[in-house]
Each structure stands twice: as C-alpha cells, then as structure tokens.
Amino acid sequence: MEKDYSSIERVRVSKVKIKIEKLYKIFGPKAKEMTQEVKNGVNKDELLAKYNHVLGLDNINLDIEEQTIQVVMGLSGSGKSTLIRHINRLIEPTEGVVLVDNQDVTKLDKNELLDFRRTRTGMVFQRFGLFPHQNIIDNVQLGLSIKGVEKAESNETAMFWIDKVGLNGFEYKFPNQLSGGMQQRVGLARALANDPDILLMDEAFSALDPLIRSDMQDQLLELQKNLKKTIMFITHDLDEALKLGDQIAILNGGKLVQNGKPEEILLNPADDYVTKFVQDVNRAKVLKVKSIMISNSQGTEGPKVNMNDSIESCLPTILDTRSTLGVVDDQNNIVGSISDKEVASILRNN
Amino acid sequence: MVEFFSTFPEMSKAGLRLFKKTVDGAYRNFSREYGDAIEAVFDPVLYFLVWFEKVLQNSPWPLVILVFLLLIYFGSRSIYLTIGSFVAFILIGYFGMWEDTMSTVSIIGVCTFISIGLGIPIGILMSGSDRARSMVSPVLDIMQTMPSFVYLIPVVMLLGIGKVPGLLAVVIYAIPPIIRLTDLGIREVDKEVLEAADAFGANKRQKLFRVQLPLALPTIFAGINQTIMMALAMVVIASMIGVKGLGQPVLKAIANQYFTMGLLNGLAIVALAIIFDRVSQSYGKRLQQHRAGSRE
Ligand SMILES: Nc1ncnc2c1ncn2[C@@H]1O[C@H](COP(=O)(O)OP(=O)(O)OP(=O)(O)O)[C@@H](O)[C@H]1O
Ligand SMILES: [Mg+2]
C-alpha cells in the first residue's frame, strides 16, 4: 500500500485568506485607458517609452492560504511594494479585485477602509516608520489609540508585546535611542499589538545587518508558530525567502512569473529570470530529503534519515554507506528511500 | 516709427489722472461706507491689546521683570541669558523707557498671537492642497515684497490712525514666515511615518494632530521666531500711524536730530529682539531633541 506523505503533512484544511484576481496597476494620468494596451501585450518598457505611463502590476492572480507565509520576490522596481500596498489599499488598483475573506477590499468606502486597516491588517516597514516624537510604548500602541482603545488597556497590551519581542526596559526610550534591529522589533510589536489576522511586511528586515537579520527571521518564525497569522513578506533576498516562505511568488516587470513552494521554485524554475534568481543557492542546504526521495514503503536495511532533514545534513551518512537509505517521517514510519544517485543529480544541477 | 521706440507709448496725462481719481474715489466711498463696520470687527482685538498694555504698565515693575525672567529662564534654560535680560530691563527702566517698552512688548505679543492663530491654520490648509498653495503663495510674496508704507495707505484710509491699523500693518508684514514654515514643516514630514499612520487606519484629523503637527513643530517654531523678529522690525514704521511704543521716540529723534534719544530707544529694540530671538530659538531646539534619529 502506498502512503501519500503529503496528506500526513497537511492536517488542517487549507482556506484561501487573500485572493488577488486580475489585478492591474498603472501609474499615470490615463491609467484606465492604458490597461487595454497592457492587455493587448504592451510590456513595461514599451508602455513607458510609448505612452509615458509606468506599469506597476500586470494581471496579478494570487491566492494566499490562511496562516501561511507568502513571500514575494523580485528585482528592484518589479512591483513588490505596489502589490503589498494593494492588500490594505494604500494604493488604489487601476483594475481588478482583492478579496480578503471573500470581501472585496477595493469596494470598501472611506470609513469601512479605515476600519479594515484598524482591525484586519498590520504593516511593518523597511525603514521602520516609527514615530520619532513618541516613546516606544506609545509607538507600540499606535493602532490601539487610533481605534480609541482605553489607555489602561492599550498600555497593558503594548507592554505584553514589548515583552514578547524582548524589549523590556526600553518602554520609555525614544526610537532614535535604539539600534536598527531593536527599532524593527518595535515595528513588529506595533503591528502585532493590533492583533490583525494579516501581517504585511515590506522588506521588513532589509535594513538590518546579516546577524540581526537572521535573528529577526528566527523570531518571526517562532512567533508565527503560535500566532498563525497570514503573512505577506516582501524580500529580494533568496535565502530569506527560502527560510521564511511557505510559498514564494516571483515578480518581474509587474508580472507574476512563478508562485510555488520553495523546492518547486528551486527544482523547476519557470523561466530564465527565475533561474537566475536561484542559481547561486546551495540546494543541498535548502532542499529537504522529502523533495527528492523516491516514495515507497518497503523500507531498506541500514541507517534511516528523516524526511524533513536537509539533504546536506544526511550527506555524510550517504557517502559513508554508499547505498540506498530509508526515509522516515516524524513518527518513524517508512515513507521512501534516497540514494547517492538522487543526491548527485541535485548537486550537479547547482 | 523712430518715435515709437524712443519714447514709451504712455497713457494720456488726463486719462491717468482720471484713473487714479476713480480708484481713490471708489476706495474712499468704500471706506466711508464700511470703515466703521470693519473697525468694529477689530474691537475685541483692540480691547485685548489695551488691557494687556495696561497690565504690563500698571503692575509693579519688579513683578513684571520677575515674570519676564521666569519666562525667559524656562524658555531658554540659560542662566546667562536670564542675567543679561535682567541687566537690560534695569537699564531700560533707568533710562526712562519702561512704559514705551511695555507698549512695544504688548503689541508684539498680540501680533504674534494673531499671526500664530491665523498663520498656522492657513499653513495647514496650504500643505493639504496644491491649489490652496498656488493661491496663497503669490499673496505671501506680495505681502513680503510690497514696501510697507504702500499698504499703510489703504489701511489708514480705511481705519484711520491708531492702534488697530498699526496692528494690522504689523500682522500683514509679519505673518508670511509662519504660514510658509507651517506649510513646509508639514510637507517635510517623513513619508514612511505618514504611511505608517495610514496603514494603521488613522483618519485625516488623527494624522494632522498625531503626526504632521508634532513633527512639523520645530519648523513651525522657526517660523514663529521669524514672525516675532519681523514684528519688531515693523515697530518703528507702525509708530508712524499712531502705535505707541519704542518706535515713537525713534521717529521724534529722527525729526529733531536727537542722536542719543534715537540710539537709546534703538538699543532697547535691539535688546528686546535678542531676548525674543534667543528664547524662541532655544525653545524650538529643545522641541527637536527626539527628531535626530528619525531619518537614518
Ligand atoms: N507613485 C508612483 N508613481 C509612478 N510610478 C510609481 C509609483 N510608485 C511606484 N512606481 C513605479 O512602479 C514600479 C514598481 O515599484 P515598486 O515600488 O512596487 O517596486 P519594488 O519591487 O517594491 O522595488 P524595490 O525593491 O526598489 O522596493 C517601479 O517602476 C516604480 O518606479
Ligand atoms: Mg519596494
């Protein structure tokens, strides 16, 4: 009997939280008329040269599952910031639909939109966007005070989140008295204090140096284990994308060129652009055993490896034994096998 | 043909005379008709100004000096400036200029309040809309470049000679910087900070009072400082249309070539200017304290 490991992995039933449909954004005075040109196949460079309009987003269709981290990648100017700002409508679409829990964000009136931003989304910015004239505790309770939550209550909530991100003792400091990493923790606490179900993070860690950046990524993953927010995370760093993303979407010139699981992006890049993005990555380190194993339940003699381990971590065992290894899941059930052949093919492709 | 290029094709003398006469006549009729009504509008300001002046002049001088020194100290946190101001006040009093100085301080104070009260809302309006800006900006240019004597004429025709027209002239002259710098300060607010307020659902009013005004405050304060300085500079001119204060003895000194009298009163104006300037500047700087780290 064949075991399908994907069903073991996904215990919960997935539900689409954010659905983006046929979304176009064009910057310029005659944006509406230009959409027709774009639909007829005019690309970003031509639109700029011929019509002096900037193509921000070109027919984006994207479903984001509840409680997952959707990473969006792309070169500078590819439309990442434009896309994320459509979720809370900081940017108005030229055409298209953004559904959050089946509610069309683009149709909200002024007050509904304010309410939506106050309750449903939280945002973290690349350069933090903290209020320099307010201390940390006031910064963290920004969303709550805008909503009109009572001071005593919002103070308590702010303290809770300041503690969560490890900034106790800094409540009454001002942003410019904190390091970059600490400031972004404030930014994160500010977004979380509002208890939104969607977190929007636009290059949230890009301004931080590598060690602190890695710390922040770990902290985000740690928080996400319990919080289970739906997160859209923008980055142009592939390592960060692979570490954080449940799904990775890649934008090029306003077009969505690929969206898939990290291993799909690595193993089957959709075009040259994506290939260039992923070519320098150490696949053995990023890919897990399960993504290249041969599924079966027969089992083999000798040592076993866990399907969620990275390929790199089981390289010594494979090289030692030069034979086929059994692959087990977390419950120690046999789910497949892996041999030096599969490993070699992955490494060669690098 | 040659004549066309050598002399400008002017309006005829009679035509020009008629033009001036008509405009003057129309304005004179207008001021005869509405002068009193317009003056009545300014009555509350006049009452306040007179009251303020009386308070300063009639309170015991040591008490007034004490209050001033306290304000100066808490505004500037500088003991040297406070001591210097003390010496200046004593000298001003000793040379018999106490009353005039109090008149000047009161008119500067009232003008500054009016300029702040009108200027900040106008500046906010300007910063919020490019159309408002393109309308207000040329008016400000005119107010700042038109020789002040020229707009004294219609003001005097309308309201006569006295405190109110003087006040009006000073405010017109002194208000542009506070309007401009309020506008500038709000426009300069870090876009990402403003976007953060938007992303958390702040409405227009919340953005204005929680983000834009607090962050623009140091710039606005620079505007207030300039407004005070310009009001002081206008004091001498305003005294020509009946504003009491240090300007009047200066005028008298010019007319009669009293050098020492002119110099003493001039120095008193300088002393006031320095005190106002230093206090408002160092207060503005303190407002800036937490701003440094915001744009790294
Ligand atoms: N307000 C605007 N007016 C005109 N063009 C704009 C505007 N905002 C963005 N654009 C253009 O839209 C395109 C996408 O910009 P966007 O900021 O989304 O890129 P990005 O992927 O976030 O880049 P980066 O990595 O540099 O942040 C760019 O070509 C940009 O010049
Ligand atoms: Mg961007």
Q: B143-195: per-residue pLDDT in tens? A: 888 887 887 888 888 888 888 888 888 999 999 999 999 999 999 999 999 99
Q: Would you say residue B14 lies in a domain?
A: no
What pLDDT does residue A1 have?
44
Chain A residues inside the 8 Å CB shell of B196: 123, 125, 129-131, 142
Q: What is the pLDDT of residues A147-163, one digit of tens each?
A: 999 999 999 999 999 99
Q: What is the pLDDT of residues B219-270, one digit of tens each?
A: 999 999 999 999 998 888 888 888 888 989 998 998 999 999 999 999 999 9
Q: Do B192 and A177 make contact, defined as CB atoms within 8 angstroms? A: no
Q: Do B294 and A123 make contact, defined as CB atoms within 8 angstroms? A: no
What pLDDT does residue A2 have?
46
- Architecture category of domain A285-348 in CATH: Alpha-Beta Complex (3.90)
Q: Residue A181: is its pLDDT beyond 70?
A: yes
Residue B174: domain span? 21-295
User: pLDDT band at residue A324, thresholds of 50, 70 and 90?
Assistant: confident
What pLDDT does residue A299 have?
65
Can you give the residue ranges of every domain in chain A?
13-19+64-120+196-281, 285-348
Name the residue with higher pLDDT: A167 or B284: A167
Chain A residue with CA closest to B216: the answer is: A133
The ipTM of this complex is 0.84
Ligand 1, atom 17, lies closest to the CA of A81
What pLDDT does residue A199 have?
96
Q: What is the pLDDT of residues B67-105, one digit of tens each?
A: 999 999 999 999 999 999 999 999 999 999 999 999 999
Q: Choose the weakest-confidence range: A22-31, A90-99, A187-196, B30-39.
A: B30-39
Q: What percent of chain B has pLDDT over 70?
A: 97
Q: Would you say residue B129 lies in a domain?
A: yes
Q: What length does chain A have?
A: 350
pTM of the model: 0.84
Q: Do B200 and A117 make contact, defined as CB atoms within 8 angstroms? A: yes
In whole angstroms, what is the distance from residue B194 CA to residue B174 CA? Answer: 31
**Mean pLDDT, chain A, whole residue set:** 89
Q: Is A253 touching ligand 1 by the criterion CB < 6 Å?
A: no
**Mean pLDDT, chain B, whole residue set:** 90
User: Which strands, in side-by-side order, build the sheet including A121-124?
Assistant: A121-124, A198-202, A230-234, A69-74, A247-252, A255-260
**In the predicted model, what is the mean pLDDT of residues A224-251?**
93
- For residue A201, give the ligand nearest its CA: 2
Q: What are the φ/ψ torsions at residue A306 (nearest 5 degrees)?
A: -80, 140
Q: Would you say residue B207 lies in a domain?
A: yes
Q: Is B203 on the interface with A (CB under 8 A)?
A: yes
Q: Would you say residue B9 lies in a domain?
A: no
Q: Would you say residue B151 lies in a domain?
A: yes
* Nearest by CB: B196 against A121, A125, A147: A125
What pLDDT does residue A3 have?
46
**In the predicted model, what is the mean pLDDT of residues A210-225?**
92
Q: Would you say residue B7 lies in a domain?
A: no
Q: Which residues pair with A255 in a beta bridge?
A: A252
**In the predicted model, what is the mean pLDDT of residues A300-315?**
81
Chain B residues inside the 8 Å CB shell of A115: 201
Task: State the total domains in chain B.
Answer: 1
In whole angstroms, what is the distance from residue B287 CA to residue B213 CA? Answer: 12
Q: Which two three-digit tokens encode residue A179?
A: 């390091």
Q: Do A125 and B195 make contact, defined as CB atoms within 8 angstroms? A: yes
Task: Look at residues B65, B60, B54, B56 and name the one whose alpha carbon lies nearest to residue B88.
Answer: B65
What pLDDT does residue B9 have?
84
Ligand 1, atom 30, lies closest to the CA of A77
Beta carbons of A74 and A22 less than 8 angstroms apart: no
Q: Would you say residue B267 lies in a domain?
A: yes
Chain B residues inside the 8 Å CB shell of A188: none
What pLDDT does residue B295 have?
36
Beta carbons of B261 and A145 less than 8 angstroms apart: no
What pLDDT does residue A348 have?
72
In whole angstroms, what is the distance from residue B21 CA to residue B4 CA? Answer: 28
Q: Choose the weakest-confidence range: A113-117, B34-38, B272-276.
A: B34-38
Q: What is the pLDDT of residues A35-68, one digit of tens each?
A: 999 999 898 999 999 999 999 999 999 999 999 9
Residue A54 C-alpha to ligand 1 middle, in angstroms? 9
What pLDDT does residue A12 have?
55
Name the residue with higher pLDDT: B168 or A91: A91
User: pLDDT band at residue B51, thresholds of 50, 70 and 90?
Assistant: very high
Burial profile B172-204: b = 16 or more Cβ within 10 angstroms, e = fewer: bbbbbbbbbbbbbbbeebbebbbbbbbbbbbee
B184: domain CATH number is 1.10.3720.10
3-class DSSP assignment, residue B205: helix
Chain B residue with CA closest to A88: the answer is: B199
In whole angstroms, what is the distance from residue B204 CA to residue A111 CA? Answer: 12
Give B235-238's long-range contacts (Cβ < 8 A, gap of 24+). B235/B104, B235/B107, B235/B108, B235/B170, B235/B269, B236/B269, B237/B148, B237/B149, B237/B152, B237/B169, B238/B107, B238/B166, B238/B167, B238/B169, B238/B170
- Architecture category of domain A13-19+64-120+196-281 in CATH: 3-Layer(aba) Sandwich (3.40)
What pLDDT does residue A349 have?
62
What pLDDT does residue B2 have?
76
Shortest CA gap B210–chain A (Å): 9
**In the predicted model, what is the mean pLDDT of residues A70-83?**
95
Beta carbons of A163 and A171 less than 8 angstroms apart: no
Name the residue with higher pLDDT: B11 or B83: B83
Q: Would you say residue B10 lies in a domain?
A: no
In whole angstroms, what is the distance from residue A16 CA to residue A31 CA? Answer: 30
